[in-house]
Amino acid sequence: MTKALFLDSVFQDRIWGGTKLRDFFGYTIPTETTGEYWAISAHPHGPSTVKNGEFAGKTLIELWAEQPALFGNPKEPVFPLLTKILDANTDLSVQVHPNDAYAKEHENGELGKTECWYIIDCEPGAELVYGHNATSKQQLIEWTRDGKWSDLLRKVAIKPGDFFYVPSGTIHALCTGTLVLETQQSSDTTYRVYDYDRVDKDGNKRELHLEKSIDVTTVPHHDAVLNITTKTTGALTETTFVESEFFAVYKWDIDGKADFEASAPYTLVSVLSGEATLTIDGETTPIKKADHFILPSTCKNWTIDGNVSCIVSTPAK
């Protein structure tokens, strides 16, 4: 098979969600508080389903298990990546994620969660929580115990096009008015540090996980060091955001006809804007804003012709 795998995926209702997944991307959302679209997912809490070709109707979980050659016969027991789009209509909880070793021990073998964010859109003056100001574990414990959130939490101003790498152990939160594409390890483990004392529709506060949060938080905080580069070749401008031990993330801005050669066992593509055609082995398929697809290992070369911007990820090399 040399076709791209186009995907239908799962929406997640969230207390902080809104309607931007409909308003910006045109998706048919299930609620007015839809917070997440798990666009490319093989996680059991929201698996994607192939919608074209001979594997139509198969979940990505099934495909990973039954057709490993499509992914270069990987060693990992589970599909390692997860692409989401998040609509932070209001502030997300302040949270932190474990690394692989901690999650394996404490979360029934779940992967850890290192993630990264591409800011698709945000309101003027928007910001996010990225890191903390505690200089020791003891200070972290004291400030969380005493609710000294303004002392503890580090706020960062953001604008569309910004990129943040969020290693496990990093205290973080998306804030009001932010639309983000998130690339992450395939994990659904989140430890809430603080949730603004808000309540759900039943009047209950959401659970916090302070002991585990303190266990896994990196102290002191260090910003991830990135070497973001941009290269233009013909119709393609490719920005390399990160190449880490978990994944690599790029942005393709295409204006015209761009030819590609595979450099990884498989490639995940999310179209953020525009329209184009994707040609593989002489077969052409239209692609457009809001599409998400995987180029499997059987796709060695492809051409994209049009005007599109895409966020692209590959597994760690």
pLDDT tens for residues 284-304?
A: 999 999 999 999 999 999 999
Could you tell me how far CA 180 lies from the centroid of its own chain? 8
CATH number (1.10.287.3610, 1.10.10.10, 2.60.120.10, 3.40.50.2300) of 229-315 reads 2.60.120.10
Residue 317: the pLDDT is: 78
Q: List the CATH code of the domain at 5-216.
A: 2.60.120.10
Sign of CA dihedral 32, 97, 174, 252: negative
Residue 80: the pLDDT is: 98
pLDDT (mean) for 109-125: 97
CB 295 within 8 A of CB 257: no
CB 166 within 8 A of CB 86: no
Q: Is the pLDDT of residue 176 over 80?
A: yes
pLDDT (mean) for 30-38: 98
pLDDT tens for residues 68-87?
A: 999 999 999 999 999 999 99
Residue 285: the pLDDT is: 97
Would you state the structure tokens that stand for residue 180, as one six-digit string? 């983000």
Q: Is the pLDDT of residue 282 over 80?
A: yes
Q: Which residue has the higher pLDDT, 41 or 2?
A: 41
Distance CA 304, CA 275 (A): 10
Q: Taking Cα atoms as reference points, which of 170, 175, 179 lies closest to residue 114?
A: 170
CA atoms within 13 A on the CB side of 275: 1
Would you state the structure tokens that stand for residue 111, as one six-digit string? 């992967």
CB-based burial of residue 98 (10 Å sphere; 0-12 exposed, 13-18 middle, 19+ buried)? buried
Would you state the structure tokens that stand for residue 140, as one six-digit string? 């972290």
Q: Is the pLDDT of residue 201 over 90?
A: no
Return the domain boundaries, the chain.
Answer: 5-216, 229-315
Q: Is the pLDDT of residue 226 over 80?
A: yes
With cut-offs at 50, 70 and 90, classify the pLDDT of residue 190: very high
The pTM for the full model equals 0.96
Catalytic residue set: 192
Q: Which residue has the higher pLDDT, 201 or 300?
A: 300
172 known member of a binding site: yes
SS3 state at 65: helix
270 forms bridges with which residues in the sheet?
292, 311
pLDDT (mean) for 47-67: 97
Q: Is the pLDDT of residue 1 over 80?
A: no
Q: Give the residue ranges of DSSP H helices in 26-161.
A: 60-66, 100-106, 137-145, 149-152
Distance CA 9, CA 228 (A): 30
With cut-offs at 50, 70 and 90, classify the pLDDT of residue 199: confident
115 known member of a binding site: yes
Q: With pLDDT > 70 as the criterion, what percentage of the chain qualifies?
A: 100
pLDDT (mean) for 181-196: 97
What is the residue-averaged pLDDT of the chain?
97
306 forms bridges with which residues in the sheet?
256, 276
5-216 with 229-315: one CATH topology?
yes
242 forms bridges with which residues in the sheet?
249
Q: Which amino acid is at 64?
A: W
pLDDT tens for residues 252-273?
A: 999 999 999 999 999 999 999 9
CB 191 within 8 A of CB 209: yes
SS3 state at 60: helix
Question: DSSP label at 92?
Answer: P
CB-based burial of residue 214 (10 Å sphere; 0-12 exposed, 13-18 middle, 19+ buried)? middle
211 known member of a binding site: no
Angular region, 198: left φ>0, alpha ψ -120 to 50, beta rest: beta
Q: Is the pLDDT of residue 210 over 90?
A: yes
Residue 2: the pLDDT is: 77
Backbone angles phi, psi at 259, to 5 degrees: -100, 140
Q: Is the pLDDT of residue 200 over 90?
A: no
